[in-house]
A and B are shown apart, each in its own frame.
Chain A
Amino acid sequence: MVTAARALSARFVGFVVGDDFWRGVVSIVVFLVFWEAGSRSHAWFGFSFPWVSQVPAPTAVLQEMFTLVQEPSFWNSALLSTLRVFEGFFAAMVIGIPLGLAMAVSPIFFGITFPVFEVLRPIPPLAWVPASIIFWPTQELSIAFVTFLGAFFTIVINVIGGARAIDVRYFQAARSMGSSTWDIFRRIILPGTLPSIVVGATVGVGITWAVVVAAEMISGGGSAGSMGGAAGGGLGFFIWNSYVGGSYTQIVAGMISIGIAGYVSSALLRKIGNWMTPWLSEN
C-alpha cells in the first residue's frame, strides 16, 4: 500500500518537475525568445528579420493584454463570441445527436438523408456566410447559424460512425437477456455511442471557434458591431477592427484570446466527456 502510494506520488511529482514538464517550459521560452528577438530585430541587431519583424513582440502583446482585460468592451466581445459559440454548438448537439442516431439505426432514414447530408457536408461553413445573411432575419442569427454548421457535420459523422461501430455481440447478448428494442437503444446504442459523441463534440467546439471568428469578421460583427468600435462585435470583429485601426498588438492579443478560449472550451468538454464515460478513463 505504502509503496503504491509512494509510486503514485512519485509519478505525480515526476509529471510536474519531470522531463516532459521541463521540455514544455523550454519549448515555450525558446519560442518566446525567438519571437521577441525577431520582433525587435531592427532595434537590437540593426536589421529587420523577414516577416517576423512585422509582428508585435510578445512583451508588447502582454502589455496590451493587461490593458485589455481592464476594458469592459473587450470582455463584452469575448462574451458575445462565447455566446455565439455556445448557441451554435448547443444547437448542433441537440439536432446532430438524434439525427446521427436515427441515421445509424434506420437504413431507410439513412438512405433518404445521407445523400443530401454528404452534398452539404463538404461546403465550408464560411461559404454559407452570404447565404445565411440573406436568409436569416438578424445578423446574430446568421452568425449563430454558420457557427452551428461548423460543429454540426462533425458531430453527426461521429455519431453515425460510433453507433455503427458498436460490436454486434452486445446486441446479441442484450437480445438474449430479454431486452426490448427500446432497452437496446437506451442501454446499448446510447452508451456505446457516447465516446464518439464526446470526440465529435471536442473536435466540433474547436471548429466552432474557428468559424465564429471568421463569420464575425465577414458580417461586420453582428448588429451590436454597428454601434461602433470594438464594443460588442465579438472577438472576430475586435480583431478586424484592430486591423482597420492599425493596432497590431491588439490583433495578436485578440488572436491569443481566441486560442485560450478554444483551449478552455475543448478542455472543458474533455473533462465533461471523461466524467460521462468513466469506463474509458481508467484504462
Chain B
Amino acid sequence: MTVQPTLSLSPVAQPVRKGGVRINDVVKIYGAQETGILAVDHCTFEVPAGEITVVVGPSGCGKTTLLNALAGFHSITSGSIYLDDEMLCGQGKLKAQPGPDRIVVFQNGALFPWKTNIENITFGPIMQSAMTRAEAYEKARDMMADAGLRGIEHNYPGEISSGVRRRVEIVRALMNNPKILLLDEPYRALDSLTKSVMHEALLEIFYKNRVSIFFITHDLEEAIFLGHRVVIMTTRPCRPKKILDINIPHPRDYSVLTTKRFREFMEETVAAVHEEAIKAFAAGEKER
C-alpha cells in the first residue's frame, strides 16, 4: 500500500521547511512473521517539518525501533516511512539507507572517544567531502562558540561532563546539515537540574537552526515542555495512543512549567502514560 505523503506545513505562510516525516502503517516484527515479537503495530503519525515532535512511551515499548527504522539502522516488516517526498523505506525496500539528512543523537552518546571534540564535530562534513578540512574546522569553531562550547575543542569527550558531551554531539549532528535530528532519550542519564539546562539549550539550538526534531523520551514533562506535538505510545506493541498538539507558544523557557496551560496538558496526558506504564510493568518490561 502506498500513500502519497502529504507535506504538513503550518497554516501560516512561511518559508518551506524540510524534514517532515510521515510514518505510515509501519509494522515491525522481530523474528519470524508468525512467531516473532510484534514491536510496532500499524503505527501511523506525522512529524511536521520544522517542528519538534516528541514520542513518549514506557521503556522498551518499541519507540526506539521506530527511530532505528527512520535512521536506517534496522528494517521494517511492512508499511512505509517518508522524509519529505522521498520514500526512505517501504514496499520493496524495507531498510532505509542511513544518511546525513537524518542524524541520531544516541541515548548514551556516541561521540568517538578517540577523537577530540572538534575532530568529532568535523567528522561528518569531512567524510562527505562537503567541506575542506579548514572550512569544517572554521565552521565547527563558530558553532561551538555559538553553543557555549569554546575552549574544549581539543579535549577528548572523556574529559568533559556528560551534559557538555551531549551538546557536542548535537553540534556534531547539526554540522551535517540534517533535515531532521533524531534524539533517542538523549538526557536520560542526566540529573534533573542538568536536564533543565539542556532543554533550554536544545530549544535555543532549535530556534537558531529550525531543523525538525524527532525526540524520544519517557519523561512526560520533558515532552510537553519541548514538543510542538506529543505522541503518546502504547506499550509493546507500540502504536500512537494519543496525539496532542501543544499550543504553548514558542519560544518557551522554563517559566512555562508553572503555567496553567502546561499543567492542563500534564493532566490530560498523565493518566494515559500511567496506564501504559502499568501495562508495561505488568508485562515485565524492566527499566534498563
A176 and B112 contact, Cβ closer than 8 Å, known pairs A278-B156, A283-B158: no
| Residues 145-192 (chain A) with a chain B CB within 8 angstroms | 167, 169-170, 172-179, 183, 187-188, 191-192
Q: Find out whether the CB atom of A176 lies under 8 angstroms from the CB atom of B71.
A: yes
Q: Find out whether the CB atom of B112 lies under 8 angstroms from the CB atom of A170.
A: yes
Q: Find out whether the CB atom of A279 lies under 8 angstroms from the CB atom of B128.
A: no
- The A interface is mostly helix, strand or loop, or mixed, namely helix
A279 and B114 contact, Cβ closer than 8 Å, known pairs A177-B103, A178-B99: yes
Q: In the complex, what distance in Å separates the CA atom of A169 from the CA atom of B105?
A: 10
Q: Find out whether the CB atom of A183 lies under 8 angstroms from the CB atom of B127.
A: yes
Choose one: A175, A191, A194, A278; the contact of B112 (CB below 8 Å).
A191
Counting chain A CB atoms within 10 Å of each CB, the highest count among B112, B115, B159, B176 belongs to B112
Q: Find out whether the CB atom of B103 lies under 8 angstroms from the CB atom of A176.
A: yes
Counting chain A CB atoms within 10 Å of each CB, the highest count among B71, B98, B103, B106 belongs to B98
Counting chain B CB atoms within 10 Å of each CB, the highest count among A170, A178, A280 belongs to A178
Q: Find out whether the CB atom of B102 lies under 8 angstroms from the CB atom of A282.
A: no
Q: A277 contacts the other chain (Cβ, under 8 Å)?
A: yes
Q: Find out whether the CB atom of A188 lies under 8 angstroms from the CB atom of B103.
A: no
Q: B79 contacts the other chain (Cβ, under 8 Å)?
A: no
Query: When each residue 148-179 of chain B gets 1 if its CB lies under 8 Å from chain A and 0 otherwise, what string results?
Result: 00000000111100000000000000001000
Choose one: A167, A179, A194; the contact of B114 (CB below 8 Å).
A194
Choose one: A169, A179, A194; the contact of B127 (CB below 8 Å).
A179
Q: In the complex, what distance in Å separates the CA atom of A191 from the CA atom of B113?
A: 9
Q: In the complex, what distance in Å separates the CA atom of A217 from the CA atom of B102?
A: 63
Q: Which residues of chain A have a CB within 8 Å of any CB of chain B?
A: 167, 169-170, 172-179, 183, 187-188, 191-192, 194, 277-280, 282-283
Choose one: A170, A178, A194, A283; the contact of B124 (CB below 8 Å).
A178
Q: In the complex, what distance in Å separates the CA atom of A170 from the CA atom of B115?
A: 12
Q: What would 18 more interface pairs be, CB under 8 Å, given A167-B110, A194-B114, A277-B114?
A: A172-B98, A172-B106, A173-B104, A176-B99, A176-B102, A176-B103, A176-B104, A177-B103, A177-B123, A177-B128, A178-B127, A187-B123, A191-B115, A192-B114, A279-B113, A279-B156, A279-B158, A282-B159
Interface size class of B (residues with CB under 8 A): 20 to 34
Please give the distance in Å from A1's CB to the nearest CB on chain B.
15
Choose one: B72, B102, B106, B124; the contact of A169 (CB below 8 Å).
B106
Query: When each residue 113-152 of chain B gets 1 if its CB lies under 8 Å from chain A and 0 otherwise, what string results?
Result: 1110000000110011000000000000000000000000
- CB neighbours (8 Å) of A194 from chain B are 114
Choose one: A173, A187, A279, A282; the contact of B110 (CB below 8 Å).
A173
Q: In the complex, what distance in Å separates the CA atom of A46 from the CA atom of B103?
A: 81
Q: List 16 A-B contacts (CB under 8 A).
A: A170-B110, A172-B71, A172-B110, A173-B112, A176-B72, A176-B99, A176-B102, A176-B176, A177-B128, A178-B124, A178-B128, A179-B127, A183-B127, A187-B123, A188-B112, A279-B157
Q: B20 contacts the other chain (Cβ, under 8 Å)?
A: no
Residue of A nearest to B100 (CB): A178
Q: In the complex, what distance in Å separates the CA atom of A176 from the CA atom of B100?
A: 5
- CB neighbours (8 Å) of A282 from chain B are 156, 158-159
Counting chain B CB atoms within 10 Å of each CB, the highest count among A173, A183, A188, A280 belongs to A173
Residue of B nearest to A175 (CB): B98
Please give the distance in Å from B107's CB to the nearest CB on chain A.
8
Q: B254 contacts the other chain (Cβ, under 8 Å)?
A: no
Choose one: B108, B114, B124, B157; the contact of A177 (CB below 8 Å).
B124
Q: In the complex, what distance in Å separates the CA atom of A194 from the CA atom of B114?
A: 10
Q: Find out whether the CB atom of B127 lies under 8 angstroms from the CB atom of A177.
A: yes
Please give the distance in Å from B183's CB to the nearest CB on chain A.
13
Please give the distance in Å from A71's CB to the nearest CB on chain B.
47
- CB neighbours (8 Å) of B113 from chain A are 279
Please give the distance in Å from B120's CB to the nearest CB on chain A.
9
A177 and B110 contact, Cβ closer than 8 Å, known pairs A278-B156, A282-B156: no
- CB neighbours (8 Å) of B207 from chain A are none
Q: In the complex, what distance in Å separates the CA atom of A187 from the CA atom of B114?
A: 9
Q: In the complex, what distance in Å separates the CA atom of A277 from the CA atom of B157?
A: 13
Q: Find out whether the CB atom of A283 lies under 8 angstroms from the CB atom of B159.
A: yes
Q: B30 contacts the other chain (Cβ, under 8 Å)?
A: no
Query: When each residue 207-250 of chain B gets 1 if its CB lies under 8 Å from chain A and 0 otherwise, what string results?
Result: 00000000000000000000000000000000000000000000
| Residues 184-205 (chain B) with a chain A CB within 8 angstroms | none
